[in-house]
Amino acid sequence: MYSWVMHEFLVAGGVVESLVKYVSESGRVVKSFRVVVGELSMLDIETLSNAIKTLITQTALRNAVFTVEVEPASIVCGTCLSKMSFNEAMAGLNTDAKEVIHFIPDLVGCYISCVKCGSVDLKVVSGRWVEVRDVVT
């Protein structure tokens, strides 16, 4: 489990670093921010939240309040443009396939096809990234 904790700390470090940069460039005081974590990033929300909490104590962000939330992943068909939730699209797959897609979402079209038109031109459009949103100053 150690490597996963390291991973969360790396991500937390990136989040805090970008906010510290924003603070020093803008001269503003950050009151609050939201961290949105894509479902597919497979980060542990509690560990990530604790890591951010620890890291900001040494920065100008120490008084900021923040939330960490999960964003569900969704898939869009490149042929008919219909949108599917990731869980819905993955429902029929076995655990091995699910794991591969979790690690390499771009392979999603190798395992499933569009529920509407059958196309395998599928793209994961949300739930892959970690983003800082709604920074209130």
Which residues in this chain contact Zn ion in the complex, by CB under 5 A?
Answer: 77, 79-80, 114, 116-117, 119
Residue ranges in the chain assigned as alpha helix (H): 2-26, 45-56, 86-90, 95-103, 108-111
Nearest-approach distance from CB 76 to Zn ion, in angstroms: 9
Nearest-approach distance from CB 126 to Zn ion, in angstroms: 17
Walk across the sheet containing 74-77 and list its strands.
Answer: 83-85, 74-77, 122-126
Between 109 and 127, CB nearer to Zn ion: 109
Other C-beta atoms closer than 10 Å to the C-beta of 63 total 11
Between 101 and 112, CB nearer to Zn ion: 112
Between 27 and 92, CB nearer to Zn ion: 92
